[in-house]
Amino acid sequence: MPIAPDRTARHAAGRCALAAALVAALLAPAVAHAQAQGLLTLNAATGPGGTTYSVPVQTMLIFSALSFLPAVLLLMTSFTRIVIVLSLIRQALGLQASPPNQVIVGMALFLTFFVMGPTLDRIYDEAYKPFAEQRLQFEQAVEKGSGPLREFMLKQTREKDVALFSRIARVDAAASAQEVPMRVLIPAFVISELKTAFQIGFMVFIPFVLIDLIVASVLMSMGMMMLSPVLVALPFKLILFVLADGWNLLIGSLVASFG
């Protein structure tokens, strides 16, 4: 059943607004500390509905959140693994500028929204929608919204990576992975994604390296040492990739790797 355009727009706006709210929550302690030290002459009022910041503080938090959103997209979603694998397949094929970087980044961006769709829907339904309807306070909405994102990152993060950053941060060793702070979970998630992306890239490179070896051996046996093996192997790698329906296999396996 197709989704109505207005509902899709509300979901998209809700996701962006909740991401900005999460970043604002991370920056709120720093702002409060600066106010306590007299560094900011801005006002905040505490009422029955919670703390209400003045317009300058709200403006500063919004712009700070917008500047932090690219880092959230790169390091807290599936974007890192996808864009690295797509870049490696281009190198394996021996193509320097095709597909161009804009196409690779755009494809990685839309695949990221596809993979993160269930997580973003949960954040919208469990956190942003109740907050927009004033059924949750800001702090409660942030706590509810960080749950699905934390769950997604934990599924993709290796235990030894979490243990590494927990040891560096001197977090209690008895604490489970679900209890570690985000400052420990995020870098552990990033290095786990890098390792997984390189493992997939290794598997992608193998058939194309074999083609390069075969072509180089044939050219060497024919005495054509002045002819570049890379140039001769390129059309064979392209036709192999097309006949094997490489994009379908690659994208399908890449999306399936997120479980």
Model pLDDT for residues 43-73, shown as the tens digit of each residue: 444 444 445 555 566 677 667 767 777 777 7
Compute the mean pLDDT over every residue in the chain, rounded to the nearest whole number: 76
Contacts of residue 114, defined as CB under 8 A and 6 or more positions apart, other chains included, come to 255
Q: Could you give the count of Cα atoms lying within 13 Å of 85 in the half-sphere of its Cβ?
A: 27
- Alpha carbons 116 and 10: distance in angstroms, whole number: 17
pLDDT in tens, 192-203: 999 999 999 898
Question: What is the H or E stretch that residue 74 is in?
Answer: helix 55-75
Cα–Cα distance for residue pair 230/227, rounded to 1 Å: 9
How far is residue 124 CA from its own chain's centroid? 18
* Per-residue pLDDT at 80 exceeds 70: yes
* Tens-digit pLDDT profile for residues 165-204: 888 888 776 666 677 788 888 888 999 999 999 999 898 8
Answer yes or no: is pLDDT of 137 > 80: no
| Cβ–Cβ under 8 Å, residues 213 and 94 | no
Q: Give Cα 54 distance to the centre of its chain.
A: 33
Find, among 63, 37, 25, the residue nearest to 149 by Cα.
25
For residue 28, the one-letter residue type is A
Instruction: Supply 181's token pair.
Output: 């702070």
- Would the pLDDT of 126 be above 50? yes
Tokens 């991401």 sit on residue: 19
Q: Using alpha carbons only, give the angle 162, 165, 166 rounded to the nearest 5 degrees.
A: 80
Integer Cα distance of 124 and 18 in angstroms = 8
